[in-house]
């Protein structure tokens, strides 16, 4: 995706491709852990969780913001983090 994906159909297609062709597994057998950019809002997260539970029948979904996970790498509660990628930068 060039930007943060807002098309739930595109996300569904991506999840099918990854689970079936790359991981060779069904998502209904595994919990799903998603790392998301800070730009996602609550409504978008709810759509993704609904998709995973209703269409993929996954037993559990865990979501976490990418900058918070980065802070865990350094074992710091307080830090200034600059996350820069091809399409976004967050501080």
> What pLDDT does residue 6 have?
62
Q: How many whole angstroms separate alpha carbon 25 and alpha carbon 2?
A: 27
User: Sorting pLDDT into bands at 50, 70 and 90, what band is 86?
Assistant: confident
Whole-angstrom CA distances from 85 to 5, 17, 55, 74 are 15, 24, 31, 19
Task: Show Cβ contacts of residue 9 under 8 Å, excluding neighbours closer than 6 positions.
Answer: none
Answer yes or no: are the C-beta atoms of 82 and 91 closer than 8 Å.
Answer: yes
Average pLDDT of the chain, as a whole number? 84
> What pLDDT does residue 52 have?
94
Q: What percent of the chain is predicted at pLDDT more than 90?
A: 31
Mean per-residue pLDDT, 19-46:
88
């Amino acid at each position: 995706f060039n930007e943060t994906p807002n098309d739930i159909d595109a996300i569904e297609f991506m999840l099918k491709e990854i689970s079936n062709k790359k991981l060779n597994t069904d998502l209904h057998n595994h919990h799903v852990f998603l790392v998301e950019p800070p730009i996602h809002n609550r409504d978008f997260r709810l759509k993704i969780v609904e998709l995973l539970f209703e269409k993929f029948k996954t037993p559990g979904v865990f979501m976490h913001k990418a900058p918070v996970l980065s802070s865990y790498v350094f074992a710091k509660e307080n830090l200034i983090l600059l996350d820069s990628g091809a399409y976004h930068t967050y501080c």
